[in-house]
Amino acid sequence: MFSRLVKIVNDSLPLFIKRTYITRKNREELQEYWRAPYDGKNIPSEYLKDRERSIFLLNLAKRYIEEGQKVLEIGCNVGRNLNELFLSGFYDLSGVEISKNAVEMMRKAYPDMAGKIKIYNGAVESFIEDFKDNSFDLVFTMAVLEHIPTESEFIFSHMARIAKKNLITIEDERGLSWRHFPRNYKKIFEKLGLKQIQEISLRDVRVPGLSSNFVARVFKK
Ligand SMILES: C[S@@+](CC[C@H](N)C(=O)[O-])C[C@H]1O[C@@H](n2cnc3c(N)ncnc32)[C@H](O)[C@@H]1O
């Protein structure tokens, strides 16, 4: 009850006030957290739920890519989003995920998909420079860039570099906490040469499992 009240008060404060008292973790601390979340939140089994958010992603992606095209999800956790694409006929899939437990759960929960896709099990910071230019027709993230700390922002230019046609970001752009880094991804990716072609504020469209702080953006190269 008390923690709920603290959350409501915290959520309603403007960002410039929150920035004065919230201490965010650094890259090493955040990577350690995501490798094995220790606070009872964000455990892999939780990510098997909320299929609706994967269906939202699928419907958005299907407007821009076709079967047979190459797709990369950064921060795929148990692979619920990738499995939704797989069930819809997208087979050339890759995922980057830092948590070993999440990838193990992916292999149990979605064995057909997990057996056919490419999984990079480690921090995106350590893989992304090795991907060639224009390697994936679509690169997407859902609730991942919001946890990427300032020191790791170099990954954004690589995302723009490796995406051949489209980039989709579905991110919390307003929440601020020890593991939330709010940003406007339109400003970021347009500066990197992409063009935003669709924007959906989740204040206007409700998607179970994603709060109204989220904005879905589609970019093209
Ligand atoms: C909030 S979860 C979202 C999971 C999934 N995209 C979804 O929508 O269900 C964030 C995911 O990003 C992963 N992640 C966080 N930092 C990462 C990093 N530096 N490299 C790779 N994965 C990371 C976490 O382990 C976690 O699976």
In short, whether 80's Cβ falls inside 6 Å of ligand 1 is: yes
Residue 23 pLDDT grade (very low, low, confident, very high; cuts 50, 70, 90): confident
Tell which atom from ligand 1 comes closest to the C-alpha of 35. 25
Q: How many angstroms separate the alpha carbon of residue 14 from the centre of ligand 1?
A: 26
Whether 194 has a pLDDT exceeding 90, the answer reads yes
Whether 184 has a pLDDT exceeding 70, the answer reads yes
Task: Convert the pLDDT of each residue in 142-160 to its tens digit.
Answer: 999 999 999 999 999 999 9
Task: Convert the pLDDT of each residue in 197-220 to its tens digit.
Answer: 999 999 999 999 999 999 999 999
In short, whether 57's Cβ falls inside 6 Å of ligand 1 is: no
* 3-state DSSP assignment of residue 21: helix
Task: Convert the pLDDT of each residue in 38-47 to its tens digit.
Answer: 998 999 999 9
In short, whether 142's Cβ falls inside 6 Å of ligand 1 is: yes
Task: Convert the pLDDT of each residue in 112-129 to its tens digit.
Answer: 999 999 999 999 999 999
In short, whether 125's Cβ falls inside 6 Å of ligand 1 is: yes
**Ligand 1: which residue has its CA nearest to atom 20?**
123
Region of 75 on the Ramachandran plot (φ > 0 left; ψ -120 to 50 alpha; else beta): left
The tokens of 110 are what? 């979605």
d(CA 15, CA 175): 8
Residue 9 pLDDT grade (very low, low, confident, very high; cuts 50, 70, 90): low
Work out the number of other CB atoms within 10 angstroms of the CB of residue 114.
22
Residue where the block lists tokens 């046609």: 165
In short, whether 75's Cβ falls inside 6 Å of ligand 1 is: yes
Domains belonging to the chain, first-starting first, are: 15-220 (3.40.50.150)
| pLDDT score of 14 | 66
Amino acid making up residue 34: W
In short, whether 82's Cβ falls inside 6 Å of ligand 1 is: no
Q: How many angstroms separate the alpha carbon of residue 213 from the centre of ligand 1?
A: 17
Whether 186 has a pLDDT exceeding 90, the answer reads yes
d(CA 12, CA 130): 41
Mean pLDDT of the chain: 94
Contact by Cβ (8 Å): 183, 173: yes
In short, whether 207's Cβ falls inside 6 Å of ligand 1 is: no
Radius of gyration, CA atoms only, the chain: 17
Contact by Cβ (8 Å): 147, 34: yes
Whether 78 has a pLDDT exceeding 90, the answer reads yes
Residue 24 pLDDT grade (very low, low, confident, very high; cuts 50, 70, 90): confident
Q: How many angstroms separate the alpha carbon of residue 212 from the centre of ligand 1?
A: 19
Contact by Cβ (8 Å): 155, 124: yes
d(CA 77, CA 72): 13
